[in-house]
Chain A
């Protein structure tokens, strides 16, 4: 969703004004952002990204919406904060020098303090007021107020002052994020949710099979519609990215332009012109059926036309791919040299699927390729959650489609049950099925277009060979059976 549409939507719903966060995905699931001029509680256990999210809200407030912000930190110093958000590509020190963000590090050292009677927290109010006035702030982050409970002993007094603080923020119409540590029985350890009635967001991270997945949920949003699911989110080098699986729009531009497969015969099977650009292509097959060759042929052809491509390889190293493809007449080295091709080879088990997605997003954003080839997608999901790969692929495919990138995925089908693991095929626009058929002691490679949306494609299974000149299709070998079964019909 673009900023404009968010703002437009805001002006329409006069009942509850919203402040867009600029955080990818969060504005979508919150239907426009956080409640404007009101505090939002952001809770979660240690290390789940509260501080980073709050900081991004401030930084994007400045860079995208022209609203300055005050960050009151009870834990990290200004230097620590600046260093931590540097990884998100934010130059905090510059924004501070430009007086667009004001940082105040509040230190409460209990061991230094002697309590000698009644007091209040007016000092904190004075600091906040001073900071807000210094730069004309509209946004405020308090991270995390609960440090007060650790530093001072009079809990009843702190609670009364917190109530006053939230009123204070509302009166000044400051859009605020207050962070709180997750409690065992309540949302936050000190029950901050009692004071913040408008909007509560919960961050969580779950570790399954040694892989961490971060999730975000809007627990409560008074007077507003909001997505109620748990949404996975990533912390990328460009900031937070909440992935609203269910709300991703199917409204990307559709191309009628075609993309040659690099093989005239195969183009012929695909309505004579090849794939549609910006679509997703799945190549499935049992081991050794030539999936990688089909993919690299496409990449080779694209680079030959001067287009950019990225290969995400999860089984072979870069050198291995280059060597193996040379044997079928494809030389990828010139394309690498000329900067048209990037090969990113990594073991899928190195990190979780979320991290892989980040990597792909990053590289894709930076390189803006025309074609992306992922080989293979099988082991990307190392956990046993059945929907994980599918969910990730939906996100990936949408990501590529929005950018008009043609994405080719290979998927290995196990020999024993070739029909297994095809749950992702429904996401794909084109599905090429490769097989290795034994026919009286001779193995024949065959190719079949199981589907290709939006075009008249060949319905015949074709035999092909992988030669030193690449993939070569033979003449049609059989008609598909009338009953529609895809069983291979031998000659």
Chain B
């Protein structure tokens, strides 16, 4: 369990008092399979496996194939990784090569 999710489980709503940490829902938006896209995917998978184990879902969206999703999800920069869950929602942009920042964005701490 991470510091962030602990905070949330202590929120005022009683049904939110879970014992299990919330499963991560991540969406990565890329524009084609550029080297930057490939680097981002690798980096995200590595960091997530390392810190979240199997507790995450990652959807990869190629905006060239689904351009309307760029509008729906408010994508400007690519690659963009959106952490949909757990709250708060965060957007992490770039090649994800700076792992420290990626972890910061995902709100995970070194185990």
Contact = CB atoms under 8 A, between A and B. Distances in A.
Interface of A: 104, 106-109, 112-124, 126-127, 129-131, 148, 151-152
Interface string B36-56: 100100000000000000000
Interface in B60-111: 63-64, 67-68, 70-71, 74-80, 88-99, 101-102, 104-105
A127 B91 contact: no
A114 B92 contact: yes
A303 to B, nearest CB: 57
A118 B71 contact: no
A116 B29 CA distance: 14
Given A113-B91, A116-B96, 13 more contacts: A112-B89, A115-B93, A116-B94, A116-B105, A118-B36, A118-B94, A121-B77, A122-B63, A123-B70, A130-B70, A148-B76, A152-B76, A152-B77
A117 B97 CA distance: 6
A81 B110 CA distance: 46
A117 B39 CA distance: 10
A151 B76 CA distance: 10
Interface in B6-51: 29, 31, 36, 39
Contact of B75 (A109, A114, A115, A123): A123
B93 A116 contact: yes
B101 A116 contact: yes
A130 B95 CA distance: 24
Interface residues of B, number: 33
A116 B95 contact: yes
A131 B67 CA distance: 9
A113 B36 CA distance: 18
Contacts of A116: 92-99, 101-102, 105
A106 B75 CA distance: 8
Nearest to B68: A130
A129 B101 contact: no
A88 B96 CA distance: 46
23 contacts: A108-B74, A114-B104, A116-B94, A116-B99, A117-B97, A118-B94, A118-B95, A118-B97, A119-B36, A120-B77, A121-B78, A122-B31, A122-B77, A123-B29, A123-B70, A123-B77, A123-B78, A124-B76, A126-B67, A127-B70, A131-B71, A152-B76, A152-B93
Contacts of A113: 90-93
Q: Counting chain B CB atoms within 10 Å of each CB, which of A114, A116, A119 scores highest?
A: A116
A119 B70 contact: no
A129 B36 contact: no
Q: Counting chain A CB atoms within 10 Å of each CB, which of B39, B64, B70, B80 scores highest?
A: B70
A78 to B, nearest CB: 11
Contact of B76 (A117, A123, A130, A131): A123
Contacts of A152: 76-77, 93
Contacts of B29: 123
Contacts of A118: 36, 94-95, 97
Contact of A119 (B63, B94, B102): B94
A120 B32 CA distance: 13
A145 to B, nearest CB: 11
Contacts of A124: 76
A148 B80 CA distance: 15
B31 A123 contact: yes
Contacts of A127: 67, 70-71, 75-76
B80 A123 contact: yes
B67 A119 contact: no
B89 A117 contact: no
A114 B90 contact: yes
A136 B64 CA distance: 18
Nearest to A129: B67
Given A114-B93, A117-B98, A108 B76 contact: yes
Contact of B67 (A106, A109, A114, A130): A130
A124 to B, nearest CB: 5
Nearest to B93: A119
Contacts of B80: 119, 123
Contacts of A109: 91
